[in-house]
Amino acid sequence: MRGRQRSGWARLAVAIGALLLAAAGCSPQEWPHWRGPERSDVTGHVSGWDQGAWPLGDAAWVRQVGAGGTSPIVADGRVYVSGWVEDSDTVRCIDAATGEDVWAQSYLCAKYGRHHNADEAYYGGPSATPEYDPETGYLYTLSIDGDLNCWDAGDGGRHVWGENLYDVYGAPRRPNVGGGQRDYGYTCAPLVHGDWLIVEVGSDQGSLVGYDKRSGERVWLSQCTDPAGHTGGLVPLTVEAVPCVAVLTLSRLVVVRLDDGHVGETVATYDWATYYSNNIPTPAVAGDSIILSTAYNMNRTERVRITLGGAERVWELVGRSTGVCSPVVYEDHVYWAWRKVVCVALDSGELKWEGGACGNDGSCLVTGDGRLLVFGAKKLWLVDTARHSPDAYRELAVVDGPGGKFSWPHVALAGGRVYAKDFEGNLMCWQLPTE
């Protein structure tokens, strides 16, 4: 009885969460930001799993959109993605139903950032996922070489404003933080917060910059001046009722205030330097805490509690970590997909189960019916979360995905469709049954 009651409350919580998302103007049917509706890789959209079958079937459409690590985002029945072809970045608005371009805008851009150094076989073209603002209908993109642009998505992609971050802020090549010097250019997705667009610049003027999202005018600079990291996105969170944003810079976690009178001030820092500068997984928010996980020399996962007075470790799990996939927090557990799919208890850090073989380039999201949708190693898996399988990894279904060399871009689920894109720019869309 107690287990059934908890399961019922969990389902009620998901339903309430979906309603709150809709009330906030961000439907679980959409995927308008890096890591989805709430920037958490959790959605109220169900997986389509029905009585032992996952009717994903053949892809509804397949597109070539250009090379790069950017993930697709979805808003108002449109898919937004950017890619590199023949010395240009192209930003595309694609009809989600047909796979045809609604509009496309191109501009000259290098394949690598101007300070690029090492590992060029593993990246190239835009790496920062676009950001969509439902209030203005503007789309924001950031190239690997620092081209920050604002496009009017409802007006054929008309260019609204832009500047090059390297030209304006002069960020030098990233220093060696262990394992050899690396610089992959700009990788971090911009983030809309109220009237601002927040961008990781990584200069000695400020690690973060807040722009007026409509005009592109600079509003503030952060107190922190760390070099930029290589993570996928900024992380909004609330610390003791104060709005903040977290960023994993090149050497540490930094939490910055966003409230009036304190904008840009550092709330907390926590050392987190990964060899080869590969601090790639975006931190995850869990109430008053942040989940950090990195492989390489770190090879551990930690829960870190954030207060206005600083940061402190809650628990540490050594020997289990993720190299690329961002951790996902869902119903008292933490999940990630890197080599294996892993489930960890949120309160203690205890390993609950692991399994599968999703490669080094995996990503995952959690659906409204408590399933993990995993993309990696050229395949898509559907896997039960601990809600349905608390003691063991349980794989439900698997289908072939894009066949390119790397599956760095993260999987997305929106409007009854699943989207997966590989590094070479092959974008696939599957239609789920109507809910």
pLDDT tens sequence across 291-346: 999 999 999 999 999 999 999 999 999 999 999 999 999 999 999 999 999 999 99
Indicate the helix (H) or strand (E) that contains 160.
strand 158-164
- Show Cβ contacts of residue 211 under 8 Å, excluding neighbours closer than 6 positions: 196, 197, 198, 199, 217, 218, 219
Q: Which pLDDT score, from 0 to 100, does residue 56 have?
A: 87
CA distances from 254 to 18, 207, 244, 317 (A): 30, 10, 10, 21
User: How many independent structural domains does the chain possess?
Assistant: 1
- Show Cβ contacts of residue 131 under 8 Å, excluding neighbours closer than 6 positions: 32, 33, 34, 73, 139, 140, 141, 189, 190, 191, 192, 197
* Edge-to-edge order in the sheet of strand 266-271: 235-239, 242-248, 252-257, 266-271
Q: Which pLDDT score, from 0 to 100, does residue 435 have?
A: 52
CATH of the domain at 340: 2.130.10.10
Q: Helix (H) and strand (E) counts for the chain?
A: 2, 31
Q: pTM of the predicted model, to two decimals?
A: 0.93
Residue 211's closest CA among 221, 202, 203? Answer: 221
Mean pLDDT value of segment 180-198: 97
Sign of CA dihedral 334, 338, 341, 344: negative
Asked if 56 contacts 397 with a C-beta cutoff of 8 angstroms, the reply is yes
Strands (E), 351-411: 351-359, 363-366, 371-376, 379-384, 395-400
Q: What is the pLDDT of residues 375-421, one digit of tens each?
A: 999 999 999 999 999 999 999 999 999 999 899 999 999 999 999 99
Q: What is the pLDDT of residues 260-302, one digit of tens each?
A: 999 999 999 999 999 999 999 999 999 999 999 999 999 999 9
Hey, what are 34's tokens?
A: 């890096």
Q: Answer whether residue 15 shows pLDDT above 70.
A: no
Tell me the residue range of the domain where 279 lies.
Answer: 2-431
* Edge-to-edge order in the sheet of strand 61-64: 61-64, 426-431, 417-421, 412-414
Q: What is the pLDDT of residues 212-245, one digit of tens each?
A: 999 999 999 999 999 999 999 999 999 999 999 9
Distance CA 7, CA 14 (A): 11
Q: How confident is the model at residue 16 (pLDDT cuts 50, 70, 90)?
A: very low
Asked if 344 contacts 314 with a C-beta cutoff of 8 angstroms, the reply is no
Q: What is the pLDDT of residues 347-362, one digit of tens each?
A: 999 999 999 999 999 8
Mean pLDDT value of segment 35-55: 92
